[in-house]
Chain A
Amino acid sequence: MTDFLLYLTNGLVMGIIYALFALGVALIVGIMNVVNFAHGELYVLAGYFSALFASALGMHPALAMIMATLCVFVVGLIVERTLIRPTYGNEMYSLIVTFILSIVLQNGYLLIFGPYPRKPPNLVTGATNVFSLFMYGNQRLLGFALALVMIVCFFALIRYTWFGRVVRSVSIDRDMASLMGVNPQRVNLLAFGLGCALAGAAGVILTPIFPVTPTIGVGVSLTAFVVVVLGGMGSFAGCVVGGILLGVMENLGAAYISSAYKQLFGFIILISALFLRPAGLFGRKRA
């Protein structure tokens, strides 16, 4: 029973972080109808940045985390401006471009940082006795809390701010929103940057626990796609539910069925969800 609760906790912690980076994909899909294949590579980039800032520049780990996320935000803006903008209206083309970008980034990281795992310093150390049942790493508990706070902030941003209102209006009806004076190009730019920053935030939270290597981002991207499809493309609340669901299922599946096939569960969910709801679990119809 204790084991089961431990797996469940693990699933919950991972699930919330899955939800955090999947929200980035959901935001970009909802606004721009672009699936960013390089999402995981931006997560990796944030990990490298935060390790670099903390160890090479001697920043406080918390400051390094914030700086790294901001840097990834800026990178996202640059990518949108230079690579994604010319593909507007051609979703296949943006797919191909971001797929190539992800390979370029992976090999770029390999060239710059080498194949060795990198890891920013922990913010906290030690472990806490959870419910007086099992010891659980403080860094993981902190990661869980941070991710939860970020998600709450994101929802507040979407719900209560001007930016959020614009985002929601564009994702409902792009043309109408632009008639109402919304600048769609600027919304795309900001949404893409923010989406990447969410990957970055998840990256800085998770890399002290799971060190980054150049190719680890592939798994992150794929996980994000599974969560987004599972929760309903473009639906933010669905993303959180989908993330937790996947986190829990993966960890229970790995514990009780087969750890080698951990990733397989996600893909089976992905394909069955897409098959059963072919228009996407979208929340809105596509032309």
Chain B
Amino acid sequence: MSTWMPWKIAQKEMKVLRRKKSVISYIIALPLILSVLFSLVVQNDIVSSSGLSPDYQLGLDSLTYFFVVFAAILPASIAAYSIVGEKIEKSLEPLLSTPTTDGEILLGKSIAAFLPPMLAIWAGASIYMAATDYLTYGLLSHLYFPNLTSGVMLFLLAPLAGIFSVELAVIVSSRVSDVRGANQAGGLLFIPFMAVFLSAVEGTIPFDAETLLIFSGIVLVADVALFFVSTSTFRREEILTKWK
């Protein structure tokens, strides 16, 4: 596998994405809207004239965690769009007839599905964290962000969730023939991530870096398992003879 070919494929995918205004605005707007919304929540519900609410740590970390949830949803939409879109345009067959390997195509599409939403999520999270630090610095006398928990969330769990999301979208894309169907199936991805969040809020599990590291390990194992399934799904023979 050449190193530059997946990148060339990803560049073309991103060029197509840029021209789909609805898709690109969805990817960029959502994390940015979240960052503004969460900053307002911090200002109104966590910070008050008498100080910080007693469970402010859980509140701030919970809001950060929502960026992880979106990292599990957004890349799936792009990947589904990229693969199902090619099925609809019937452009997969000529693409597969070129001297590119299945791995190069899959990696190129995965990069294009993973990178833009992840960058948008990191940008959104950065805005949220900067706003939070601005609002809480006077009360805490130190910067709340960045911290270990948010680092694990944004630089370990979120990328792993994004990879999970892309791999699952590849598998789902082989079974559906329209983007909406793929998106609906991809939307279910938020369930395991929300389950962890709800367990933490209810106090069933602690919401700290250690727990998130364990959860990241579980997602990593799932990523490895799904890697084998998605690469065996995204094979020329499978695509041309078995995909719907």
Partners in one complex: no
